[in-house]
Amino acid sequence: MSTGEEPLNKKQRQDNMKIGTHNGSFHCDEILACFMLRQLPKFTDAEIIRTRDSALLDTCDIVVDVGGVYDPAKNRFDHHQRTFKESMSTVKQPKKWTTKLSSAGLVYCHFGQEIVSQILELPVDDPVTDIVYDKVYENFVEEIDAIDNGINQYDGEPRYQISTNLSSRVSHFNPQWNEPNADEMAGFLKAMKMVGAEFLDKVLYYKKSWLPARELVEEAVKGRKEVDPSGEIVVFKTGGCPWKDHLFNLEAELGIDPPIKYVLYTDQANKWRIQCVPEALGSFSNRLSLPEDWRGLRDSVLTEKSGIPGCIFVHAGGFIGGNDTYEGALEMARRSLKMSQNKT
């Protein structure tokens, strides 16, 4: 049996922990599960044993995605048995997610807070650890759970296929059907490096970028009526911050009505953008798109059509536009609101 890793002598290996998973074609869930376990001090130097031999799996300190057993007390984390129906909501109450767990979700469910705390260098019980833990499950791990368990993202026929997600990219590291004598473990380790890098990026993003943006968004939301009496336009002092998630949460927390329609911010060229608030996170539909007559127009043509100085563009999809000045972008937002009111 080969693990595909650099050989270590017996003395070096004798104190090492062993992570067991199956051999043959590998998938994103056990790749991520193995990577996450190696973020824990206990398993940092763990040898990965890829086999379906139950006797060999019994020598491992932890087993993921193989063996037909889910028993946290014995460090067994398989999800393929017919009796398995666990989700984050059943294993880790009061978490809300009901997607059936894969081996990645199982490891994250049981060890994720410790893993996140290691990466962020924060205590396990720090509030930031818990916030990041939840966001990483919702926006990274849950997708892998769902894909591995064959759960459709929504009902109905999709308009197009997405083949560039992380699970799809992992599959390409497997040997091709017509590639004899391929080094399967080498592909496994390459996939683990790719998945691990994306997992670390996601964890660090939520602490370093996403979480600090909440204060900025909250300030803008609370000061929205100073921008316009309608309360439907907000202005961010700093452009480029991740605002959508925070805005929806703050609207719910603060009971904001009517909902916010437009956000204004500066771009990298220090010009002003007006962006429509989507109907929901991930939606391509807007609460109120920019006027139909403006869409696809640019510069002087758009300025003449709108009657607003300094217009740069309005996207053909009507979800974003630009102006040279703050005053111009604000007028675009105000005019859009007024035009929609005139139609009703």
Count CA atoms within 13 Å of residue 127 on its CB side: 1
What is the average pLDDT score of the chain? 94
Of the pLDDT bands very low, low, confident and very high (cuts 50, 70, 90), residue 226 is: very high
Q: How many CB atoms lie within 10 A of CB 155?
A: 5
How far from chain centre, in Å, is Cα 290?
Answer: 28
In the prediction, which pLDDT does 38 show? 98
Of the pLDDT bands very low, low, confident and very high (cuts 50, 70, 90), residue 10 is: very low
Strands (E), 109-203: none
Report whether pLDDT(177) > 80. yes
In the prediction, which pLDDT does 313 show? 98
In the prediction, which pLDDT does 5 show? 41
Amino acid at 97: W
In the prediction, which pLDDT does 343 show? 74
Report whether pLDDT(7) > 80. no
Percent of the chain with pLDDT over 90: 87
When pLDDT is averaged across residues 212-240 and rounded to a whole number, the result is 95
CA gap 34, 26 in Å, rounded: 12
Q: Is the dihedral of CA 12, 13, 18, 19 positive or negative?
A: positive
Strands (E), the chain: 18-21, 47-50, 62-64, 70-71, 76-77, 233-235, 262-266, 272-276, 311-314, 320-323
In the prediction, which pLDDT does 18 show? 98
The secondary structure of residue 292, as a DSSP letter, is G
The secondary structure of residue 153, as a DSSP letter, is S
In the prediction, which pLDDT does 6 show? 40
Instruction: Write down the pTM of the prediction.
Output: 0.86
When pLDDT is averaged across residues 218-244 and rounded to a whole number, the result is 95
How far from chain centre, in Å, is Cα 324?
Answer: 33
Instruction: Say if residue 35 is exposed, middle or buried (CB neighbours under 10 Å; 0-12, 13-18, 19+).
Output: buried
